[in-house]
Amino acid sequence: MTNHHTDWANCNLLRGMTSHHTDWANCNLLRGMTNHHTDWANCNLLRGMTNHHTDWANCNLLRGMTSHHTDWANCNLLRGMTNHHTDWANCNLLRGMTNHHTDWANCNLLRGMNSHHMDWANRNLLLLQSHGMTRQWMNLLLLH
């Protein structure tokens, strides 16, 4: 999730999301990334991933990054998920992450979102399908 101004791998923003202190495999957060019945707005995982400089609730960036039942544009979940070097509201980075046919695994978008144990840029971890989870996803995230 980088542009030339921001190296998310070195960004304090994702610490905790990507350090050895956080086990995404056991987290319910990712369930809604492939299941259109999960309401991310009810997930507490990303609460506090905010700073006081950016209001993602007013950002059009994540429009379309929604399930049938969740409107991320109105969700406070990602409020302030940025740092002072990047204005995500003006960023085209996430365009294309908003339809059922985008293959995150082949997308450069998430480069740098790696932890000690996962290189997200090189995994098929975020392969999205329009319906349900892939077996690969479930195996990788141990959600089954």
CA 132/CA 38 separation, integer angstroms: 11
CA 138/CA 144 separation, integer angstroms: 6
User: Looking at residue 32, what is its pLDDT?
Assistant: 39
User: Looking at residue 127, what is its pLDDT?
Assistant: 40
**Which segments of 2-134 does DSSP mark as H helices, in order?**
none
User: Looking at residue 64, what is its pLDDT?
Assistant: 39
User: Looking at residue 140, what is its pLDDT?
Assistant: 47
Q: Give me the domain span that covers residue 33.
A: 1-144
User: Looking at residue 28, what is its pLDDT?
Assistant: 34
Domain count, the chain: 1
User: Looking at residue 118, what is its pLDDT?
Assistant: 36
CA 106/CA 114 separation, integer angstroms: 15
Q: What is the pLDDT along the chain (144 residues), one digit of tens a residue?
A: 333 333 333 333 333 444 333 333 333 333 333 333 333 333 333 333 333 333 333 333 333 343 333 333 333 333 333 333 333 333 333 333 333 333 333 333 333 333 333 333 333 334 433 334 444 444 444 433
User: What is the rounded (10 degree) CA torsion for 117, 110, 30, 103?
Assistant: -120
User: Looking at residue 40, what is its pLDDT?
Assistant: 35
CA 82/CA 8 separation, integer angstroms: 10
